[in-house]
Amino acid sequence: MYHPFFQFFLPRVGQAALAGLLYWNFLQLPPLAWLSPWPLLYYGLPLLLVALLGWLARDPLGLGIVLVGYLTAFYCVGNLIGLATRVLGEPFRSVWQVLWLEGLTPWLLTALVWWWGRRRAMHLCTTRYRLTTPKPLPGGRLTIVQVSDLHPRAGTAMERGRIPELRQKIQACRPDLLVFTGDIFDEYTEREEFAAFCALFGELEAPLGKYYVLGNHDLFHHWREPSFDRAALETALAKARVRLLEDTAVLTGPVRVVGRKDYLYTGGRRCTAAELLPGGPDEHYTLWLDHEPRDLKNAAAAGADLILSGHTHGGQVWPAGAVGMAARNERNYGQKRVSDRCTAIVSGGTGTWGYRLRTQGHTEIVCVTVEQRAET
pLDDT in tens, 199-219: 999 999 999 999 999 999 998
172 with 216, same domain? yes
Quickly state the pLDDT bin for 2 (edges 50, 70, 90): very low
Q: What percent of the chain has pLDDT over 70?
A: 94
Strands 343-346 and 334-337: antiparallel
305 with 174, same domain? yes
Of 373 and 129, more confident: 129
Q: What is the mean pLDDT of the chain?
A: 90
205 with 339, same domain? yes
- Burial category of 348 from C-beta neighbours within 10 Å (exposed 0-12, middle 13-18, buried 19 and up): buried
Question: Which pLDDT tens digit goes with each residue over 357-376?
Answer: 999 999 999 999 999 987 65
360 with 211, same domain? yes
Give the domain extent around 69.
4-119
Of the residues 75, 101, 119, the one at which a domain ends: 119
Of the residues 101, 119, 137, the one at which a domain ends: 119
Q: Which H/E stretch holds residue 73? A: helix 63-88
Given a cut of 80, whether residue 49 has pLDDT beyond it is: yes
Helices H, strands E: what count in the chain? 13, 12
Specify the amino acid at residue 207.
P
How many structural domains does the chain have? 2
307 with 333, same domain? yes
Given a cut of 60, whether residue 3 has pLDDT beyond it is: no
310 with 172, same domain? yes
Of the residues 85, 119, 153, the one at which a domain ends: 119
What is the length of the chain?
Answer: 376
Average pLDDT over residues 84-90: 92
Average pLDDT over residues 247-257: 94
Average pLDDT over residues 82-110: 92
Average pLDDT over residues 330-353: 94
Whichever domain contains 248, its CATH number is 3.60.21.10
25 with 105, same domain? yes
259 with 142, same domain? yes
If DSSP codes are grouped into helix, strand and coil, which group holds residue 362?
coil
Given a cut of 80, whether residue 11 has pLDDT beyond it is: no
CB 369 within 8 A of CB 141: yes
Average pLDDT over residues 280-295: 95
Range scoring the smallest mean pLDDT among 15-19, 111-115, 183-187, 353-357? 15-19
**Gyration radius (Cα) of the chain, Å:** 25
56 with 88, same domain? yes
104 with 146, same domain? no
176 with 104, same domain? no
115 with 138, same domain? no
pTM recorded for the entire structure: 0.89
- The interaxial angle of helices 191-203 and 163-172, nearest 10 deg, is 20
Given a cut of 80, whether residue 159 has pLDDT beyond it is: yes
